[in-house]
Every structure is written in C-alpha cells, then in structure tokens.
Amino acid sequence: MLNSLLGRVVGGIALTVVVVLLVVDWGRDVPELSPLSRDARVLAFGDSLTHGTGASAEASYPAVLSRRLDRPVINAGRPGETSGEGRERLAATLDRTKPDLVLLCHGGNDFLQDHEPSRIRRNVRAMIEQARERGIEVVLIGVPSRGITLATAPLYEDLAAEFDVPLVRGVIGDILAEPTLRSDRVHPNDKGYRNLVDAVHEVLVESGAVTRP
C-alpha cells in the first residue's frame, strides 16, 4: 500500500513538472521583428546545414523557405565551416548581399570538433553584433551540442536572451534523432530540411516578420 501511495505521489509530481514546462514553453514570447516587405532579401548564413548537404539543391532549407516566403533567400552556407571561420566571412557577405534579415545557424562543426562552448558563444555573439551594426535583424537557429539528448546547446538560449532575437530551438536535434529525417548522422534529408523550414517559418510568423498563409 505504501509503495502504491508513493508511486501515485511521484507520478503526480512528474505530471505537474511536465505541465509546468509545457506552459512555460507555450507562453514564451518571441521577440518582434519588422515585417518583411515583398522585395525584402533574406540571408541564410551558416555551414553545411544551411548549404543543404544531404539533399538536392532545390531541397536545401533556404531554397524551400524562399518558395514558402515568395521572397529571395540567399544561401550562404559553407560546408565544414567553424563559427570562427564564419565570423571572418560574415561581414563581407553582409556588405555584398545587403539583406534585411539574417538567419544565423552556426556552431555545429565546432561541437563536432569539441571546441569549447565559450569559444562558440564569442563567435556567434560577434556575428550577431556584425549584423546589428548594419541595422540587420537576426533570427538565431540553435544547434545541439554533442550528447545523448541532442538538445539545443544552452549558449543559443543565452545569446537569444542577451540580444532579444528570435530563436529556432530544438528542431535540428529532433531531426537528427529520427533516422527517416536524416541523410547521415549529422545532416537532414529532403524531408528533414522541410521540417527545418516549418520551424523557421513558424518563428517568422510568431515574430511578425511574415503572416501565416
């Protein structure tokens, strides 16, 4: 009887924790972005996840998102690039393409190479600052650190809060945890990239950048 009572108590506590976490997540405010005009330019900047490794060119997430938004989305993904290399490349890319919005997805290769999170944080922070200095808004796409859970690395949550920018959280880890959504252990397939587009588009809607179709 005592074991049964304890089981009900523990189960009740666990359910309460889950409900609280869900409420917190659902109630999380997405920072506002300026509405994208019909001729706005979006820059997708990152590594192989942005480039579209693992899928055909027309199935990369920038290509699919461009069709979804009916606006140009420039694919500035470079496979194998670390956040430090991206930091060095971004300024010239911004000056050349002159986007209205940057979708920043960087750090995955750093985690694969066991770089310190503090180093990745410095580089991603610098990239956000480079965009902000030019009056360009940013959406941050979080990537998972190495581990069993594939949860978005905490540094992305920290930077999103520091700069008050929208964060696309969880989706890349969810994709990589599902074999039917990936082409190899670190890259989505066509369907996986469509899931990434769904998540990015939802954040753009919630932030006010675009309206829901």
DSSP string, 47-62: SHHHHTTTS-GGGSHH
10-residue mean pLDDT series, the chain (213 residues): 42 39 51 96 98 94 97 98 98 98 98 96 98 98 90 97 98 96 96 98 98 86
The verdict on residue 3 lying in a domain is: no
Asked whether residue 153 is assigned to any structural domain, the reply reads yes
| Residue 173 belongs to domain with CATH number | 3.40.50.1110
Whether residue 189 lies inside any domain: the answer is yes
Would you state the pLDDT for residue 201?
98
- pLDDT of 25 reads 43
> Does residue 16 sit within a domain?
no
Residue 29, helix vs strand vs coil? coil
User: In this structure, is residue 121 part of a structural domain?
Assistant: yes
Question: pLDDT value at position 57?
Answer: 85
List residues bridging with 152 in a β-sheet.
144
Question: Domain limits at 70?
Answer: 31-207
Residue 128 pLDDT: 98
Inside any domain, residue 196: yes
Q: What does the pLDDT read at residue 213?
A: 77
Provide the pLDDT for residue 28.
56
The CA distance from 1 to 45, in Å, is 59
d(C-alpha 38, C-alpha 4), whole Å: 61
Residue 158: exposed, middle, or buried by beta-carbon count in 10 A (0-12, 13-18, 19+)? middle
- Token output for 15: 């359910």
Within 10 angstroms of residue 199's Cβ, the number of other Cβ atoms is 18
Which pLDDT does position 88 carry in this prediction?
Answer: 98
Q: Are 168 and 142 in contact (CB under 8 A)?
A: yes
pTM score, two decimals? 0.86
**What pLDDT sits at residue 208?**
97
Please report the DSSP string for 164-201 in residue order.
Answer: T--EE-SHHHHHHT-GGGBSSSS-B-HHHHHHHHHHHH
Count of domains forming the chain? 1
